[in-house]
Structure 1
């Protein structure tokens, strides 16, 4: 009765059904078929006393096979509901033995069994809301009946897993198995058979909803949460468990699930789920490339960025040398790190002992000799090519052969920096995002001569410290900042055309961006981009429209929050942007100089122009080979620039709009606003070919 994904073994009157569907033993159509057939066989075999479900490999089951969502296989009979109905009819105990994880559909399968046991290190949870969904296999109906409505809502709405000991406290599992799981689970099952007690089913438990305020739980969902729709639907489904029979509740849950799985939010979040896992994969490196080991790191520069990078490594248990030229700078840097950790301790998310251990991993240094034994050094000094070249010449002289020499530059040429060393093959860009100890994105910038082993090492290192690495090639601004140029350009143009700074920012936060482009510029520091614009001015085509608004604001000494004035003004000690008539006057003056008659601008036009500018440049980046995949660009913008996850990233947004429609709208903007809006050739080609996606990929 074994199938390709379910193995049936008779082990001394216990039918052991092993889920074997790598990589996570996902419940797809063949798994459901194998489970149903195996349980049915065991029920009809007088030589079998009980059924034990267990997972092959490192885990019980990671959930439904999301590769099959929105496909015919997802609705192929039997459904999970059918499998659990079969278990409910069984006169023989069915036990789930959980190791590794039981997540989503995996936990729902276990909830339908009579008993659940788990290894001490197992984790259990219902993470569907992270994909814009709700549990669709009975989780919202059975879990409340088993552990209570409040505890069930906490687990479902958080989307995070709990450990086996906590699951035992809640009554989610019947026992925690110490030692070998299969043997322990078999012993548990034999005791159950020997006792001959009535088989307990979660579905038969009474549900006590007294004191539960479902409206309050719905209203507590943050409006701007990436999965707000799914969280509110989860509350609806759990509420149904208190109002309907189990069968009625299951029907209600499934209807809500089907609505979400077909909706744009879940499709976007599932796209990102795959994109985040695809990003670390290297499509062009030799298959046998072995990454260099990174056991000790150095960071040059103890400012906000350097300190944050040092924390990222210390958090992962990797020793790090924090280098500065002056003691005062080191003292300030360590004090900032200490205060950052202190905030986490004050919130109860880190113990004093853990903070002390992490601080102990950060070794201050004032002499380049301290870098002699590090495997990786990351320069995080002032964004100036001459400064960086000088630093890299010192690193070349003092670091051991084979050490990886990395720069945290956000847009300067890695290849030019590498020329200041005798080992360009060891030079790479590691563009962290601020705050570096929090932000998950890391742009890994390969130079023309960067070795495959260095690239592989940095991609692995990024994952080791909890980052999502995206491999990119050298160009002005790499992926994120190169695209940001057009985004800010259009924001500036629309200021001249009639929008106010607050309208531009309101339109973009209304679209879902974490911050508006002008508030973001103030936060980042307008002087940084001003320096870039001045550096690039000689190469800017004279015939192209250029807004002087940002330059004029900088010329007035307004660099953003750091000077308490930029596009907005700021009260001392406050980050709240306040509209400023002085900026309005600058905008009006620039419009007059440019011969522009200002007029009302619609919020939807602001949002569309800004996002289409991202998309058009993103296509060029993709087709130039700067990024490996369009989905990598989405990862960069969601995790580095606050693009709404519920829209999947700018490239996925364009695919959702339709590539042909995207091209049509860009051509309208080209006709109205000129050469800046010349469509990317790759977009034109894909539309001509009838393509629906930028990447050739298959996913839900």
Structure 2
């Protein structure tokens, strides 16, 4: 293997170049190479300046993920950055692509920074449960205003080279596309000016007096929603304003170590790797996907329009079909609104927006216009009869080899596929609403789905920047099957004595973005009601059915869309608990002969997690999910589970599977039918193993 860091010389300038594809990660070999080559340049009397740059498509884009969890090897990144800064010769750093995490810390260790105008930079460490630990919290506030440094570090946000230049992080911008040439030109100019080293550590924190750290800490705590890293990172940034540089570095290192050893860091690292493992699907290894350049979408409601928008943003040509011209025009207006929103948020250039609407998107009322589409996604009403009819028509008009996909949330895809003469071309692509925002995509593989079709689902997900997870066929697949079970558990908790508002409070304190009853109001109570009615005929007579949500629906209260559900919604006002709910629940308890009792927040969380983990264990045991970590990815990205807890399976491993099983055993005394332990959960406890042991 070639040395990932080389040194060459152009006249009196030493060029230290990193070449560690694909992203020039700061691996041990890279750190060692930088250390040795900077030292060599320092010792060479013919060298007057040192340029650090990178080959390939990016500057150093962070740490090497292969080294996560392994014992550190010298030189450490903090020591390397300090060594670079201590150079007695001016060190110029040329940035292109992205300078992230340790990469940006290396750049800040240099004395001068030039960036191509296309470059971006940031310190995203809090996403992994840690903070910038190589001086990032100390140097950034000495280069740019403290308030902006705190915002960048605590939010993990990136800035453009242009903004970096305006703030003072970047000393020069270069319009070209060659970082080496840009760095050399800047180095020559600096030498001509007689410039020497300019060490960031010599600076005072910028505009520190303008920051109220108490107010900022309260704001960060609120947005962090239980995550420790942003708050600790802010503590480190504050240290840059109150301590000498060397003391600030020690403080940063102490806070970094505290986070490194925390459960949250382990959970966030688990989530990071889990999202990279979901695409590893044995049945599609080495299988080439079919084309996805031109797709069709059937149905232009919220979901269909969202799918079309997501595809258009990914550069895919889209034809959307609706039942009549009015519906087609309405769908087009929704897509146009979604795309305009992307322009407003800076996600889409206006010229690209105009080109998409002019050339890549059209609506139709005739399925025959799908004749040359590579893939068609059905997103119509959740009715088996309707979906079978749609697939029969698609089968008749679509070209051989076209993939036919359904966006169903619950229904049997084998039955849908049977409506065609090409069941091997059929699969589920379950997007989450709003489809142009939510990252999760369940790729549901039916009994006869061809491996090339499965591969196509994953390829489309990647193209659309989704996190695609393989799922098997069952009612609700992975996420909605688990959801239906923990919803029943939440209903049982309410019947036992808690209010829906108690449940929402306890679970938001646990880390959920919204409580489950507030989420039901947001989604529309009529959606869950319709699904419960669909399953009524197959409901086991042993089930204790909670009817209070149905009673709300019978009164026309569907949540936010009607202004009343579990909560009351008035424009401009914070949602308030609906007092009618407690009356409906009290009547149902009396009817069922249930004497309510006090239920603590801790018990609410234990019941919720026991139900979620238990059904997830069944999902894995039944082969619906490939591995426990896939379940974590689904719940993290589609259902608001707190990322800093790693997902339900990781959480269960953290608290111990024996505790989960014991909680289920206790709850069996209340309802022996609802609380049946999953065979896989029992097996793992008996074998003293955890869910992580199944992730390989």
TM-score when scaled to structure 2? 0.92
Q: Which moved more, 1:442-451 or 1:557-566?
A: 557-566
1:653 is aligned to 2:643: no
Equivalents in 1 of 2:117, 2:648: separation in Å?
42
Q: Which moved more, 1:431-440 or 1:50-59?
A: 50-59
2:203 counterpart residue number: 205
2:614 counterpart residue number: 616
On the 8 A contact 2:16/2:53 being kept in 1, the answer is yes
Cα distance 1:34–1:685, how it changes in 2: closer, same or farther (>3 A)? Answer: farther
On the 8 A contact 1:561/1:575 being kept in 2, the answer is no
1:257 counterpart residue number: 256
2:131 counterpart residue number: 134
1:640 is aligned to 2:638: yes
1:684 is aligned to 2:665: no
On the 8 A contact 1:304/1:435 being kept in 2, the answer is yes
On the 8 A contact 2:90/2:196 being kept in 1, the answer is no
Secondary structure of 2:577's aligned partner:
coil
1:597 counterpart residue number: 595
Aligned residues: 693
Equivalents in 2 of 1:563, 1:149: separation in Å?
46
What displacement does 1:407 show? Answer: 0.7
Equivalents in 2 of 1:582, 1:148: separation in Å?
52
Equivalents in 2 of 1:346, 1:35: separation in Å?
42
1:665 counterpart residue number: 663
1:400 is aligned to 2:409: no
Secondary structure of 2:256's aligned partner:
helix
Secondary structure of 2:441's aligned partner:
strand
Cα distance 1:82–1:346, how it changes in 2: closer, same or farther (>3 A)? Answer: closer
Cα distance 1:358–1:223, how it changes in 2: closer, same or farther (>3 A)? Answer: farther
1:44 is aligned to 2:38: no
2:389 counterpart residue number: 390
Secondary structure of 2:430's aligned partner:
strand
1:520 counterpart residue number: 519
Listed as ranges, the matches of 1:75-94 within 5 Å are 76-94=73-91
Equivalents in 2 of 1:507, 1:296: separation in Å?
46
1:106 is aligned to 2:103: yes
Q: Which moved more, 1:295-304 or 1:14-23?
A: 14-23
Listed as ranges, the matches of 1:148-547 within 5 Å are 148-177=145-174, 178-193=176-191, 196-208=194-206, 209-221=208-220, 223-226=222-225, 229-279=228-278, 281-341=279-339, 355-360=353-358, 361-547=360-546
On the 8 A contact 1:221/1:228 being kept in 2, the answer is no
What displacement does 1:651 show? Answer: 1.3
Gaps of 5+ in 2: none
Equivalents in 2 of 1:97, 1:574: separation in Å?
50
Q: Which moved more, 1:422-431 or 1:597-606?
A: 597-606
Equivalents in 2 of 1:58, 1:179: separation in Å?
10
1:613-643, CA deviations, whole angstroms, 9 ceiling, x for partnerless residues? Answer: 1111111111222112222211211221111
On the 8 A contact 1:297/1:377 being kept in 2, the answer is yes
Secondary structure of 1:97's aligned partner:
strand
Cα distance 1:669–1:636, how it changes in 2: closer, same or farther (>3 A)? Answer: same
1:163-217, CA deviations, whole angstroms, 9 ceiling, x for partnerless residues? Answer: 3333333332333442433344344435545654322211122444233332333
What displacement does 1:5 show? Answer: 4.4
Equivalents in 2 of 1:575, 1:323: separation in Å?
39
What displacement does 1:10 show? Answer: 5.6
Cα distance 1:155–1:227, how it changes in 2: closer, same or farther (>3 A)? Answer: farther
Q: Which moved more, 1:243-252 or 1:155-164?
A: 155-164
Equivalents in 2 of 1:519, 1:78: separation in Å?
50
Equivalents in 1 of 2:347, 2:78: separation in Å?
39
Equivalents in 2 of 1:197, 1:555: separation in Å?
78
Listed as ranges, the matches of 1:547-562 within 5 Å are 547-562=546-561
On the 8 A contact 1:428/1:447 being kept in 2, the answer is yes
Q: Which moved more, 1:373-382 or 1:187-196?
A: 187-196
On the 8 A contact 1:70/1:261 being kept in 2, the answer is no
Alignment RMSD: 2.8
Residue number among 126, 140, 144 corresponding to 1:143 in the alignment: 140
Cα distance 1:658–1:638, how it changes in 2: closer, same or farther (>3 A)? Answer: same
